[in-house]
Amino acid sequence: MTSATQIPDRSDIPLEQTWNGESVFENLDAWHSEFEAVSKEVPKFKDYEGRLSESPDVLADYWEFSSEISRRMIKLYFYGAMNNAVDSLEEAYKGLVGQVMGIFAQASQLSAYDNPELLAMGREKLMDWVKNHERLAIYEKRIDDLFRQQAHVKSAEVEAVLGMVSEPFAAASQIGGEITNTDMEFADALDSDGKPFPVTQSNIETVKGHTDREVRRTGWNNYADMHLKFKNSLAASYITSVKQNTMMYRVRDYDSVLHMKLFNHNLPTEVFTTLIDTYKKNLPTWHRYWDVKRRILGYDSIHSYDIWAPMTDKEPSVTWEQSVDWISAGLKPLGEEYVTAIRQGCLEERWVDRAVNKGKRQGAFSFGTYDTSPFIMMSYSNDLGSMSTLAHELGHSMHSYLSNKHQPEVYANYSLFVAEVASNFNQAMTRAYLFEAKKDDRDFQLALIQEAMDNFHRYFFIMPTLASFEYEVHERVNAGKPLTADILNGIMADVYAAGYGDTMTDDRERTGITWAQFGHLYEAYYTFQYATGISAAHALADKVLTGEANAVDNYLKFLSSGSSVYPLDALKIAGVDMTSPEAIERTFKVLTDLVDRLEGLIEA
């Protein structure tokens, strides 16, 4: 019997550890019934073609119909995507996402006339309708955004074609995900006694943070080696995605992929370059941390697989219920409604799919729809790292919860640029509470610093590193330069080498394949927004923790704003200006303080 059998089948997982899928659709038959019903409704988009300028009521009818169909399609998509994420081995769920992508593409094609027709009406006429007709009043910002993007909207015919390609373009990400989450089977890690330890997508973080260095080394190696085995297929998938991005920016007349991705949310490209420049300037902080950690671990040299090594052999065990209690205590300053929603979601309403099981994808995420709870997928492991992940994903969930509660559907979704603020805010608040509550417990302090540094490593080291990588890759494609798996690996290895400096002993080949381990890259220029998000989060948490006037109210207004205002303006409501490097520098100061605190514990 192999050690892989230690990972339970999905069917063996207790109900309370799974997400409440039956609250979305009672069963697969209910899903298929709704899919058929929506499929019959989508062709009705044609009923409005050429008629949007007919009257305010016709336009209001169209937008209300579009919103209803969108909500129903997204709910169908979510059910398939969530089930596939928690159980990719179940064949019944595999085709659901593809089916929904098909009707998404059809809806996009059939409604491609809307923006060209609206632009032809002119801003003045549309704004007059908005001001004088109650049913259209909520759409003022939407119209403003449409005319802001007017130069990049094509004719109805071209928009129809672009709508048609949305489904095949999604295949690049789907192929990459199938390879990494379904086709890959990792060799077991081995502990110091030669005993096997399973390696899966759902437990890789546990492997990397294992107390046994040999488990970490062999697990990290085996994980990287399997990605290297598939490097050419994964490279073909990712390069296709990059070339699709390049085609789209050229068709829509943007300056670059970066410009296209940021322009959609009214963000200047300087927010990207400021982050990368500030990050590179502060790399010596990371170099210092690698050396301090090497010393506390007692090693002559520190390697990539030691980054997640626990700094105490007395790391606390943290039950699910304890995590919820600590997170609730940390977030108490935000008020009773916020904390009550968290507790009910975690302990009663099954927002969180927390089991480790075969076929579960790696990582964690929060995902839901306007008409469902904000669900979370993660693998809970009774440790501080899992508690931190839960706090993080609950930040996303509460952001969605409050946006859905206070905004109409058209503005309920918030942009990627603000998405990582609420998640990292929750972690910062919980961490601050525990640093004080456990201030006399040296081992707990070490474990908490470990948790903090692991989080900073992911969002303030890996993500800017990936952002530097994807910028170079897109620039190469834009310039017509060749790209292969080995070229991708070389670019990745180079940017990691700068981050590691002289204090980290690197394994260049295995580090080079890191790009293939992050599906985030299929959403171009998403990764840098983790770093801007953690920066804004710490700046805002500091305001709440120091009792600054109106800090809590302003933060809750930010969470409730959805996309009713542009992202930079939403953050200004909360109290931070991300056009300046100040918040990024301030967060590097938090990082420096953690390294100082760690060095002090060594000396003590």
Residue 200: helix, strand or coil by DSSP?
coil
Residue in the structure block whose two tokens are 């190696």: 221
Question: Cα torsion for 53, 59, 62, 63, to the nearest 10°?
Answer: 130
Spatial distance between the Cα atoms of 481 and 159, rounded to a whole number of angstroms: 29
User: Which of 275, 282, 231, 283 has the alpha carbon at shortest distance from 468?
Assistant: 275
Tokens of 337: 């409604």
User: Which of 544, 573, 344 has the alpha carbon at shortest distance from 429?
Assistant: 544
Residue pair 406/441 in contact by the 8 Å Cβ criterion:
no
Spatial distance between the Cα atoms of 52 and 59, rounded to a whole number of angstroms: 5
Spatial distance between the Cα atoms of 410 and 564, rounded to a whole number of angstroms: 8
What are the backbone dihedrals phi and psi of residue 396, each rounded to the nearest 5 degrees, phi first?
-60, -45
Residue pair 419/529 in contact by the 8 Å Cβ criterion:
yes
Q: Give, as one character, the DSSP assignment of residue 8.
A: P
Question: Which letter, b or e, does each residue of 257-293 get, where b requires 16 or more Cβ atoms within 10 Å of its Cβ?
Answer: bbbbbbbbbbbeeebbebbbebbeebbebbebbbbbb
Task: Give every CB contact of residue 439 below 8 A, 6+ residues apart in sequence.
Answer: 445
Amino acid found at 110 = L
Q: How far is CA 465 from the centre of its chain?
A: 16
Tokens of 135: 């049913």
Spatial distance between the Cα atoms of 348 and 195, rounded to a whole number of angstroms: 39
Helix extents (H) in 298-348:
320-330, 336-347
User: Which pairing describes strands 302-303 and 504-505: parallel, antiparallel, or unpaired?
Assistant: parallel
Question: Which among 167, 205, 315, 393 is annotated as catalytic?
Answer: 393
Q: Give, as one character, the DSSP assignment of residue 45.
A: G
Query: What is the widest separation between alpha-carbon atoms in the chain?
Result: 77
Residue pair 271/524 in contact by the 8 Å Cβ criterion:
no
Question: Number of C-alpha atoms within 13 angstroms, CB side, residue 253?
Answer: 8
Active site residue 393: yes
Active-site residue set: 393
